[in-house]
Amino acid sequence: MPLPPKAPSRTIETPALGIDGFNVGSRLRAARQAKGLLIEEVAQRVGVSKSFISRFERDVVQASVATLLRVCEAIGIKPAELFSPPATAFVPAGEGTPISLGGEKMREYLIGGAGNEHMMALYSVIEPGGGSGPEPYTLKADSDMVHVQSGQLELRVGEDTYLLKAGDTLTFPPSVPHTWRNPSAEHTCTALWVIVPPPS
């Protein structure tokens, strides 16, 4: 379906995209309230406006990956806690759990590692020009591996830039600031990610 237009101001304030009924904002609100935190407290810790947190929790805007990670850290939860795990360890094709870790023009699915303290596996469908957003981010994990199934994926890890094509795999320390995007103007990229252990 066609993507809604981007907001003209800040990158983190792009319109939220519902993914098969999953809305990360409402789950963040529930987590914040369970911790007894006010919107003002979270906004101050993250470095954004109270209005942004309010709209994010109502799924009116979507955050970049870096911003979402800071919100989770401010609330005191792991990103994986936002998502319900698959019913079994076996995940048939196309039946991963839809999640939203931020980013632009993309969909992600949890395909392994839900509730597992050792690893997390994700499947990403990245539309042309989509990606993690312009702001580099880090993860509190030991290793991140990405395998491109189709299309191309450009990753910038620290000062190094890698262009991965179908069949290519890159392993890197996610503690190093990094960003990634689909550089194609026409073709969708699909990729598998394995993060060890799940980011905290």
| Residue 116 included in any domain | yes
Q: What is the pLDDT of residues 19-61, one digit of tens each?
A: 344 567 878 888 888 788 999 999 999 999 999 999 888 888 8
Residue that finishes a domain, picked among 47, 82, 117: 82
What is residue 85's predicted lDDT score, i.e. its pLDDT?
Answer: 53
- Are 160 and 122 part of one and the same domain? yes
Domain annotation covers residue 51: yes
CB 198 within 8 A of CB 117: yes
Contact criterion met (CB below 8 Å) for 110 and 99: yes
Shared domain for 78 and 148, answered yes or no, is no
Closest C-alpha among 150, 27, 130 to residue 78: 27
- For the domain that residue 192 is a member of, what is the CATH number? 2.60.120.10
Return the SS3 of 33: helix
5: in domain = no
- The answer as to whether 34 is a domain residue is yes
**In the predicted model, what is the mean pLDDT of residues 66-84?**
84
How far apart CA 182 and CA 65 sit, in angstroms, is 15
In a domain, 149, yes or no: yes
Domain end, chosen from 38, 54, 82, is at 82
In a domain, 3, yes or no: no
Confidence of residue 86 (pLDDT cuts 50, 70, 90): very low
Which of residues 43, 58, 82 is at a domain's end? 82
Domain co-membership, 78 together with 141? no
Would 176 be classed as within a structural domain? yes
**Whether 105 and 170 share a structural domain:** yes
Cβ neighbour number for residue 59 with a 10 Å cutoff: 20
Q: What is the pLDDT of residues 108-138, one digit of tens each?
A: 998 876 556 678 899 999 999 999 999 999 9
Which residue range forms the structural domain that includes residue 137? 97-196
Looking at the structure, tell me whether residues 124 and 170 fall in a common domain: yes
Q: Are residues 65 and 140 in the same domain?
A: no
